[in-house]
Structure 1
Amino acid sequence: MKKIGFVTLLASACFSVSAYADFKVLIGVDPADMQSKNLATLVSPTPGISSALGTQVSLRQTADLTDAMRATRTQENDMVVGPAHVAASAISHHYQLLARQKQNAEFVLVARADIGAPQQMSGTRLYLTQQDSVRAYLAKAMIEESGLTLKSFKTVIYGKTSGAGLLALSANLADVTVAGKEEAEAWMKANPKLAKIIKVTQPVPAGLAIMVKKSMGDAEKKKILRWAVSADAENAGLGKMQQGTLADESLYRYIATLGILTPPTIPGVTTVDTPMVQKLIASGMTPVDTRSQKEFDQEHIPGAIHAPYIEKSLKDRDFDAKLDDYSAISRLPKDKAVIFYCNGPECWKSYKAVIVAKQAGIQKIYWYREGMPDWRENKMPVEAK
């Protein structure tokens, strides 16, 4: 029988002709893992989640995992399917882990043989999969654990597949790369004395996971879970997944502590919480929303002005602002106190806006790091455009 890729099958299984369905599903696909064994294949198609729930489903699939994580913070989908760091973001924003593919994996930094310790990576050439992939995300975390940043490297090269990094080591086009541990060990066995593993993650979930809103009814959750884990004809299930457990959630929460979060503070800037933002607004201070136009139109803090920070730079404290469009920030009055916010600790737009606003000479800046998710969680009033 013809094999069908997991993501392709899930997409076809979820698709509905109705553009006005109530049940929204987002599938985040990691481009670096498209050909990986971590994306299971199924031998026969199954009826979709639409049949399982008895309702029509609206599906959106994206390879932009930065956008997928943004969507978990805005909670605009009833169900999110994605790799480990998307799942970690969803679990941090009121989604429940329902099911996941069964395997765990360890990821490693592989370095040229003469690099003796992680700290010696400084000044070398780094190959990563694309910026929003799982591998690049975990590599960045391992680099920061070693006391380095991406700016510590002579060059950083981004590609689309994990295996290309190992090939780059073979061809002396890179000195350090990231790979799955099993993949790296097999490659080093075939290429003895060329490189070695210098940093390893703890085991993390591989493949995809299914998250649903915590507010979803128990009956609907059971239907989706039965569809996800069962492959028998009676239940017409997807199969190849297992029910998520509390132990699984702890693995995803570990991932959430790695490269997702912005620094907790910014030197010379006051970080404020929701009650303080209320008081500052009541005193006449202006909240500045740095998110996208779509997000601002959907909901924002009452009285906020929209000054989007359009980022192309890395989500890193050493980001290169020259790559970004922060013209809206530059036009803000320099003599008025402002409160910058975006989509919480995982969103770097307000962090970057604060940095460039300081450099532009804005005199009094507050940073609402918890941002819109915390405002929403505290049931504060919102406006829509």
Structure 2
Amino acid sequence: MKFARAAGFCCALLLPLTAAAEFKILLGFDPADDSGKQDMAFGVAAAPSLSAALGTKVSLNQTTNLTDAMRASRTQENDAIIAPPHVTASAVSHNYQLIARDPKNASYVLVARKEIARIEDIAGKRLYLTQQDSVRAYLAKGLLTEAGFSSKSFKQTVYGKTSGAGLFALASNLADVTVAEQAEAQTWISSHPGVAAILKTSRPVPEGMALMVRKNLAEGDRKKLLKWITSFDTNSSGIGKLQLTTAADEEQYRYIASLGILTPASLSGVQRVTASEVVKLMANGAVAVDTRTPKEYQLAHITGSINAPYVERSLKDRDFDSALDDFSAITALPKDKPTIFFCNGPECWKSYKASKIALANGMKQVYWFRGGEPEWQEQSRPVAGTGSSK
């Protein structure tokens, strides 16, 4: 799929339509996965009919930054999201409804060089993953977490940009462990006998793209989208591959969500609090600190909270390297006031890291609202911001 065709799709969707309202769609694709790139083709043929079917202006944001797509899956700033499985899993967990998906499934595996006979033996070895926000890296980290490993368990972790480079790295003795799609790995192992073996396998999970809509989307718009989807030839490429979903499909995505790189359940020296406890603390003078980006804060935030964003470059890991991040907004906060840190829920590491840094910097009373903005909004508690009325 050529980028020019994808750009043409975006332009077609952005043409002004007759209705005044704007329908916002986020399209995220995985640049580390060839099939993800091919899925960019889904809307080329469908673009003219999409705007006509909805009868309104459509604003499409296309991104290869799946970290940003994961963030957007929790903020509900888009009416619909079309994205790979781990973004879908996050959205389904945060007030989006799954309505269509690519019907193909696949399992993912951890593959290790032949000298490593057991999963326990990968400690201290060299790990190769696709880029940090890719679906393969996401699932690999989930499998590694299940097996009790963190980033510090490995001698070296390299993030590449292509899905096949990990197996090449094994063959070249540049890495000891990598992740691959199961069928791909089995084919490769057969053609490279004696080089590597599969150590751990995920259960089958969805492949390709899926379509989600906000749960509070108007029923009329939902029906128009469903009619639009089912009007395409299911044998064609792109959007034609998406099929209407069932409860069993949603359960598969919830399994992916369970593999997610969630923050720890607790943080030593810091009190974890719920939304109702945040209300009481703020009523008694505690400061609620939103560690998300200024854009997210402007869109919607806990009423009365302040924004102290920072640039996050370190890994999403309890053993993160704080030297890679800019915590100046956190360390500048008063140390003598009770302070509550929050961000985008259990999958978001910013408030966890901020809480840890604040405690280490001498802050006396640190609270961590792990559920964050998603929990707050799911309980219909007061929010402020440009998108707070949606």
- Secondary structure at the aligned position of 1:32 is classed as coil
CA distance in 2, matches of 1:125, 1:48: 49
**Other-structure match for 2:23:** 23
CA distance in 2, matches of 1:10, 1:221: 25
CA distance in 2, matches of 1:36, 1:275: 41
Inter-CA distance 282–15: structure 2 relative to 1 (3 Å threshold): same
CA distance in 1, matches of 2:346, 2:122: 28
RMSD between aligned residues? 2.4
CA distance in 2, matches of 1:133, 1:119: 25
- 8 Å CA contact 2:282–2:288 kept in 1: the answer is yes
Range 33-42 or range 322-331, more displaced: 33-42
1:82-120 CA-partner distances (Å, limit 9, x unpaired): 001100111111110010011000000110011011111
Q: Are positions 1:74 and 2:75 aligned together? A: yes
CA distance in 1, matches of 2:217, 2:94: 14
**Other-structure match for 2:257:** 256
- Give the number of aligned pairs: 379
Inter-CA distance 326–300: structure 2 relative to 1 (3 Å threshold): same
Q: Note the C-alpha offset of 1:324.
A: 0.6
**Other-structure match for 2:305:** 304
**Other-structure match for 1:289:** 290
Q: Note the C-alpha offset of 1:213.
A: 0.9
Q: Note the C-alpha offset of 1:218.
A: 2.7
Q: TM-score, normalised by structure 2?
A: 0.91
**Other-structure match for 1:33:** 33
CA distance in 2, matches of 1:119, 1:41: 42
Q: Note the C-alpha offset of 1:146.
A: 1.1
CA distance in 2, matches of 1:77, 1:12: 16
1:149-201 CA-partner distances (Å, limit 9, x unpaired): 12111100111111011111111111111010011011111100100000100
Q: Which amino acid aligns with 1:245?
A: T
- 8 Å CA contact 1:227–1:238 kept in 2: the answer is no
- Secondary structure at the aligned position of 1:31 is classed as coil
- 8 Å CA contact 1:14–1:57 kept in 2: the answer is no
1:196-247 CA-partner distances (Å, limit 9, x unpaired): 00010000000000001111233322221232233259xxx94221101100
Range 321-330 or range 15-24, more displaced: 15-24
1:24-83 CA-partner distances (Å, limit 9, x unpaired): 000011111135698496798234421221222100000011100111111000000000
Inter-CA distance 44–140: structure 2 relative to 1 (3 Å threshold): closer
**Other-structure match for 1:350:** 351
- 8 Å CA contact 2:43–2:239 kept in 1: the answer is no
Q: Note the C-alpha offset of 1:336.
A: 1.7
Inter-CA distance 55–134: structure 2 relative to 1 (3 Å threshold): same
**Other-structure match for 1:244:** 245
- Secondary structure at the aligned position of 2:383 is classed as coil
- Secondary structure at the aligned position of 2:213 is classed as strand
- 8 Å CA contact 1:13–1:48 kept in 2: the answer is no
Q: Are positions 1:8 and 2:9 aligned together? A: no
**Other-structure match for 1:124:** 125
CA distance in 2, matches of 1:298, 1:260: 25
Range 265-274 or range 60-69, more displaced: 265-274
- 8 Å CA contact 1:288–1:304 kept in 2: the answer is yes
CA distance in 1, matches of 2:339, 2:229: 47
Q: Which amino acid aligns with 1:188?
A: I
CA distance in 1, matches of 2:8, 2:228: 11
- 8 Å CA contact 2:130–2:159 kept in 1: the answer is yes
Same amino acid, percent of matched pairs: 54
CA distance in 1, matches of 2:242, 2:78: 21
Q: Note the C-alpha offset of 1:383.
A: 2.8
Inter-CA distance 248–14: structure 2 relative to 1 (3 Å threshold): farther
CA distance in 2, matches of 1:18, 1:307: 37
CA distance in 1, matches of 2:375, 2:245: 26
CA distance in 2, matches of 1:41, 1:287: 43
CA distance in 2, matches of 1:325, 1:4: 37
**Other-structure match for 2:60:** 59
- 8 Å CA contact 1:333–1:362 kept in 2: the answer is yes
The equivalences for 1:316-355 within 5 A come to 316-355=317-356
Inter-CA distance 300–12: structure 2 relative to 1 (3 Å threshold): closer
**Other-structure match for 2:108:** 107
CA distance in 2, matches of 1:62, 1:199: 31
Q: Note the C-alpha offset of 1:13.
A: 8.8
**Other-structure match for 1:193:** 194
Range 30-39 or range 132-141, more displaced: 30-39
**Other-structure match for 2:210:** 209
Q: TM-score, normalised by structure 1?
A: 0.92
1:276-302 CA-partner distances (Å, limit 9, x unpaired): 111111111111111111111222223
- 8 Å CA contact 1:4–1:42 kept in 2: the answer is no
Inter-CA distance 279–130: structure 2 relative to 1 (3 Å threshold): same
CA distance in 2, matches of 1:4, 1:64: 18
Inter-CA distance 117–39: structure 2 relative to 1 (3 Å threshold): farther
CA distance in 2, matches of 1:381, 1:316: 31
